[in-house]
Amino acid sequence: MIKKTVLDNYFRSVTLPILITLMVFIYASGLSAKTFSYIVADARDGKIIRSHKSTQIIHPASLTKMMTLYLAFDAIRFGRLKLDQKVVISKNAASEPPSKFWYKPGQRVSIRYLIRASAIRSANDAATALGEAISGSEKKFTSDMNIAAKKMGMNSTRFKNAHGLTEIGHYSTAKDMLILARRLMLDYPEYFNIFSRLETYASGKTIKNTNYKFLRQYNGASGIKTGYTNAAGHNLAASAKRGEKQLIGIIIGTSSSSERAKKIIGLFDDAFKAIPKRKNISSLAPLNLAKIDSTRRIAAVNIPLLKPRSFEDMLKSQGKKNVNELHKNPNQTSTKSVRRNNVNVQIGMYTTLVSAERDMPNILLLNIDLLADIDNESIKIRKNKEKKYSIFVNEITYALAENLCVRTQSQETTCSILVN
C-alpha cells in the first residue's frame, strides 16, 4: 500500500486543538512561499511561448490525475477496460484522504463514473480505484505511471501515487506536466471534452468542476485539471481554443484558485496574440500500456540537482578540519566504526511547531531525491536538546547524512549529524 505523506502521518498524531490552531494559522497568514512556475505553449506543435522556472522540481498535486486518466483512456482504447464495466472499491481506495467522492469499501462503481469523479471532482478515492482497476494494485499502477512518463519524455517526473497527495519521491516540473497535458489532449480527443464540463453526473450525484473559475471566465476555455495541496499551492493545467488557435499551459504554486485563474488568463491573452492563425498539428502516437514491458521498474528518474558548496567548504566555514570534527563524539573517533544505519540528522531550529511544519515541505522538496527511499516513519518533527523544534531524519547512513547536510546548509538552514 502506498505510504501517505510524512505530514499527513504527523497531522494524524497531533491532538485536535493543535491541529485546529495550525490550520487557522496557515489560512490566516497565507503561509509558505511556494515554487511559482509556469509554461504556455502552442498546443498544435508544442512550441513554448512563455515560461518561468518551468524545469524546477515542484509538487504536481492533483495534476497527477492527468496521468491516471491518460492510462484509463489507454486501457479503454485497447480493450483492457470498458466504460460501463463495474469495479469493486477496495478498502485502500476508500481510505484515501479528501478531496474524495466518499465511496465505500465493496461498493461497485463503473469506470465511467470513476473517470468523471477523478476528472471533475478531483476525487482521490476514485483515482486510486481507477489505478487498481487498470494495473491490479496501486503499487503496480504507480510503476506503470512512471514507465509511461519516461516513454513520454517526462524525464524530471516520478509518481508515487495515483492522486497527487504530497509524498516523498513524488515530483514533477511544469514542463513535464505540459508534455502530459498535451498528450492527453491530442492522443484522446474523444475523451478530452470531459474537462470542459462545468458539472456532470456520477454515482448518483451532480458534481461541480474544480476548474469552474477558469472555464467560466475565459472565452474558449476547454480544460483541463486543477491541483492543490499546502505544499504545492494552487496549480492548474489549462487549455483554450479560439478558431484554429489552441493553447495549453501549466501554472504552479499560486496562492488561491482565483489567482491561478487570473494569471493563466493573462498569459493566454498574450499568447493568443503571439501565435499564428494556421499551423499543422503534430500528432503523437498513443501509448499502449499493454506493449510496455511492465517487469521493468523505474528505480529513479534523473532530476536537476542543486549544486551547493562542497562539503570541504562547509567544514572550513565552521572551522573544522574533517568530517569527524564536525560532529565529534567522545566514543566515536572514526566514521568507519559507525554502523550502517546508526546516524540521525537534525534539520532546522524552530521556536514553534507551526514554523517547523511550515518549512517541512520545502526541506523535503529540496532533498526529494535523497529521501526517496527513506521510510516516512523515519522522518519526524520533535523537540531537540535546546528545547526547540527540528526535523529529524533517523537511522540513515553517514554518507546520506553528509549529503543531506551539504545541500540543506547550502540553503542557509542548520543541519547536524548525530551519531547514536
Residue 2 lies in a domain: no
| 300 located within any domain | no
Residue predicted with more confidence, 354 or 234: 234
Catalytic residue among 122, 135, 222, 239, which? 122
Grid coordinates belonging to 162: 495515483
User: What would the pLDDT profile of 362-402 be if each residue is shown by its tens digit?
Assistant: 787 777 767 777 777 788 899 988 889 999 998 888 888 88
Question: Residue 140 falls within a domain, yes or no?
Answer: yes
The rounded percent of the chain whose pLDDT value lies above 90 is 57
Residue 20: predicted pLDDT: 36
Same domain? For 261 and 328 the reply is no
Of 239, 256, 291, the one marking the end of a domain is: 291
- 62 is known as an active-site residue: yes
In a domain, 296, yes or no: no
- Quote the pLDDT of residue 226: 97
The CATH number of the domain where 396 resides is what? 3.30.70
214 and 179 in a single domain? The answer is yes
Residue 304 forms part of a structural domain: no
Q: Are residues 94 and 241 in the same domain?
A: yes
- pLDDT score, position 144: 94
Same domain, 184 and 102: yes
Confidence band for 96, pLDDT divided at 50, 70 and 90: very high
Domain boundary among 256, 291, 326: 291
Same domain, 285 and 394: no
Q: Are residues 170 and 82 in the same domain?
A: yes
CATH of the domain at 101: 3.40.710.10
Whether the pLDDT of residue 8 is over 60: the answer is: no
- Confidence at residue 34, expressed as pLDDT on a 0 to 100 scale: 67
Residue environment code for 223-259, b if the CB has 16+ CB neighbours within 10 A, otherwise e: bbbbbbbbbbbbbbbbbbbeeebbbbbbbbbbeebee
- To the query of whether residue 110 is one of the catalytic residues in this protein, the response is no
Mean per-residue pLDDT for 130-141?
Answer: 95
Give yes or no: residues 317 and 286 share one domain.
no
Do 202 and 235 belong to one domain?
yes
Number of domains in the chain: 2
Structure confidence by residue, pLDDT tens digits, 323-359? 344 334 333 333 344 455 778 999 988 888 888 887 7
Terminal CA-to-CA distance of the chain, rounded, Å? 31
Distance CA 261, CA 254 (A): 9
Rounded to whole angstroms, the Cα distance separating 181 from 225 reads 9
Whether residue 248 is found in the same domain as residue 327: no
28 falls within a domain: no
Q: Are residues 282 and 321 in the same domain?
A: no
Measured between alpha carbons, how far is residue 176 from residues 59, 98, 156 in Å?
12, 25, 7
Cα–Cα distance, 109 to 419 (Å, whole number): 52
CA distance 213 to 19: 30
Active site residue 307: no
Statement to judge: residues 252 and 398 lie in one domain: no
- Per the model's pLDDT, the better-predicted residue between 165 and 324 turns out to be 165
In a domain, 299, yes or no: no
In a domain, 229, yes or no: yes
- The arithmetic mean of pLDDT across residues 227-251, rounded, is 95
Looking at 291, 320, 355, the residue that finishes a domain is 291
Asked if residue 116 has pLDDT above 50, the reply is yes
Q: Which of 4, 65, 225, 241 is catalytic?
A: 65
Q: Are residues 138 and 281 in the same domain?
A: yes
Would you state the pLDDT for residue 365?
72
Give me 316's grid cell: 572550513
What average pLDDT does this structure show over 221-230?
A: 95
Q: Which of 62, 90, 118, 239 is catalytic?
A: 62
- Residues 247-297: tens digit of each pLDDT: 999 999 999 999 999 999 999 999 999 999 887 777 676 666 665 544 333
Does 27 score more than 80 pLDDT? no
Which residues span the domain enclosing 388? 311-419
